[in-house]
Each structure stands twice: as C-alpha cells, then as structure tokens.
Amino acid sequence: MSLDKDTVRRIATLARIRVDEDALEPLAGELNNILGWVEQLNEVDTEGVPSMTSVVETEPFKRSDTVDDGGKAEQVLANAPEEAEQFFVVPKVVE
C-alpha cells in the first residue's frame, strides 16, 4: 500500500489539519517511508491471536453513578478563545 498525494489530502481533511498543496508530495514520501517500515508486521503469524485490549490483567473497578462535580461554567470557559453568555462561540455553522 502506498499513499499518493490525493490520499494524503483526504487524510489531512479527515484529521482536520490544513496542509498546503506543495507540502502534500513531500509528506506522502515521509508517510510512505514509515508505512513501508511497519509493513514488516505482516511477517508475524497472528492467526488465532486475539488483539490486545487490556495492557495489564486487572479487575476493573466500579464506582457509583452519581454527580459529584459541576456548576463550574466560569472555569470551563476560562480558557476559551471566544465566549459569550456562558457559551463557546464558533464561526457560523448554518448558512
């Protein structure tokens, strides 16, 4: 599998990262190098091997489902680039 310019453009859109048109080609090269290198994983026989879902074997703990925090709108908004009347402000969503 090899990435071309169009695929990189598509991934960048999925990742919501602006990539300038002239940066796509070099980026495709870098990503292909990395993906080419990880191809060696196909050498490993993983027939019947489960995928790892938990790093260490432990008993998950449960906690009661109760509200124990909240009412901190001011703190939540304190780092917002733009806010108004206790809302985050974003560019217009609906035309």
List interacting residues with another protein (CB under 8 A). Answer: 1, 3, 7-8, 11-19, 27, 30-31, 33-35, 37-38, 40-44, 46, 49-53, 55-61, 63, 72, 75-76, 78-82, 88, 90-93
Q: Are 72 and 83 a contacting pair, CB within 8 Å?
A: no
Q: How far is CA 52 from CA 14, 46, 55, 57, 58, in A?
A: 26, 12, 7, 11, 14
Taking the complex as a whole, the smallest distance from the CB of residue 84 to another protein amounts, in Å, to: 13
Identity of the residue, 25 or 82, whose beta carbon is nearer to another protein in the bound complex: 82
Identity of the residue, 13 or 25, whose beta carbon is nearer to another protein in the bound complex: 13
Taking the complex as a whole, the smallest distance from the CB of residue 67 to another protein amounts, in Å, to: 14
**63: phi then psi, degrees, rounded to nearest 5:** -130, 160
CA distance 33 to 71: 49
Taking the complex as a whole, the smallest distance from the CB of residue 57 to another protein amounts, in Å, to: 8
